[in-house]
Amino acid sequence: MQAVFLKAQEQFADEKFQKVNIFDSPRMFCDIYCFEPGQEQTLHSHEDNDKIYYVLEGVGTLTVGEESRQVEAGWAVLCPPGEDHGVVNTGGDRLVLLVFMAPHP
């Protein structure tokens, strides 16, 4: 069994948000994204992949398509294939997201 204590995997850097791989297979991946206040993931899309962001801690603004929403710990957001999506840490504390994408790009 693979088991990971997510809090121990968190990594932060001043220059940009950090992606930390948690699980990976030919069918999917699972990462945590770690944002300092003000850091962002620019809008982008994946033509053939579904992505889910789950907020573990902090507050951020997530954009999917034309809609943006401020979310906090406990919220999950779906990004369908082909939809532009991105994240901004709009809170005053660190933002940590659990991210799933399938199929693996």
Within a domain: 13: no
Residue-level pLDDT at 29: 96
Within a domain: 36: yes
Within a domain: 1: no
Within a domain: 18: no
Mean pLDDT over 8-17 rounds to 98
One-letter amino acid of 11: Q
Within a domain: 11: no
The alpha carbon of 84 is separated from its chain's Cα centroid by a whole number of angstroms, namely 14
Residue-level pLDDT at 59: 98
The tens digit of pLDDT for each residue in 53-92 reads 999 999 999 999 999 999 999 999 999 999 999 999 999 9
Within a domain: 63: yes
Residue-level pLDDT at 104: 81
Give Cα separations from 12 to 15, 19, 20, 29, 89 (angstroms): 9, 9, 10, 20, 13
Q: How far apart are CA 74 and CA 90, in angstroms?
A: 16
**Domain interval for residue 86:** 30-102
Domain count, the chain: 1
Within a domain: 37: yes
Residue-level pLDDT at 105: 75
CATH number at residue 36: 2.60.120.10
Within a domain: 77: yes
Interstrand relation of 67-72 and 50-57 (parallel, antiparallel or unpaired): unpaired
The tens digit of pLDDT for each residue in 19-60 reads 999 999 999 999 999 999 999 999 999 999 999 999 999 999
